[in-house]
C-alpha cells in the first residue's frame, strides 16, 4: 500500500512539478512525512520545495455523498523547484524534483532498494522513520 500511496506523477509538461499521494499512508508515516523538519531536510538536500496540500480523506470517502469536502483533493505533497533553482537549467530543476520525490518515497517506505542518495540499498538504514 505504501508504494501505491507514494506514487508520484508529473503534473505539467515541463516535468518540474510532481505530487506524492500520502492520503493512504499509515497515520504514523503521514505524521512524520509532513513534519516541518522532514520537509526542510528534503528541501535543503535537493533544492526542491515541498508543500502539503489537500485534505485527509477516509478510505473510500473521496467522491462519495459522505465526502465533507468533495471539491478538495486527497492529502498529497506538491514538489516544485525551489527558488534557489530559478537560475538553473530546466533539466537541473527536473532532477531536483525527481531527487526530492525519491527522498520522500524513501522516507515513506524505508525498505525500498532503489532510493535516493548513497543509502547503501534497502534495509531502512539511515532513511527510516524513527526520530
Cell representation of residue 130: 524513527
> Is the pLDDT higher at 86 or at 12?
86
CA distances from 26 to 11, 20, 39, 87 (A): 25, 14, 18, 38
> For 68-97, how does the pLDDT look when each residue is reduced to its tens digit (9 = 90+)?
666 778 899 999 998 889 899 999 999 999
Side-chain-side CA neighbours of 54 within 13 Å: the count stands at 19
> How large is the greatest C-alpha to C-alpha distance in the chain, in angstroms?
47
> For 23-65, how does the pLDDT look when each residue is reduced to its tens digit (9 = 90+)?
999 999 999 999 999 999 999 999 999 999 998 888 777 666 7
Taking phi first (over 0 means left), then psi (-120 to 50 degrees means alpha), and beta for anything else, what does residue 25 get?
Answer: beta
Kindly provide the b/e burial profile for residues 97-116, where b requires at least 16 CB atoms within 10 angstroms of the residue's own CB: bbbbbbbbbbbbbbebeebb
Q: What is the pLDDT of residue 126?
A: 36
Taking phi first (over 0 means left), then psi (-120 to 50 degrees means alpha), and beta for anything else, what does residue 83 get?
Answer: alpha
Q: What is the pLDDT of residue 123?
A: 37
Amino acid at each position: 500500500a505504501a508504494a501505491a500511496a507514494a506514487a508520484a506523477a508529473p503534473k505539467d509538461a515541463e516535468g518540474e512539478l510532481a505530487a506524492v499521494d500520502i492520503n493512504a499512508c499509515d497515520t504514523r508515516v503521514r505524521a512524520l512525512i509532513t513534519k516541518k523538519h522532514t520537509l526542510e531536510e528534503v528541501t535543503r538536500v535537493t533544492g526542491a520545495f515541498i508543500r502539503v496540500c489537500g485534505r485527509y480523506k477516509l478510505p473510500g470517502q473521496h467522491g462519495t455523498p459522505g465526502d465533507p469536502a468533495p471539491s478538495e483533493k486527497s492529502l498529497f505533497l506538491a514538489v516544485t523547484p525551489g527558488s534557489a533553482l530559478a537560475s538553473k537549467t530546466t533539466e537541473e530543476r527536473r532532477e531536483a524534483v525527481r531527487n526530492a520525490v525519491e527522498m520522500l518515497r524513501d522516507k515513506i517506505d524505508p525498505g525500498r532498494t532503489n532510493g535516493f542518495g548513497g543509502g547503501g540499498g534497502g534495509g531502512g538504514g539511515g532513511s527510516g522513520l524513527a526520530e
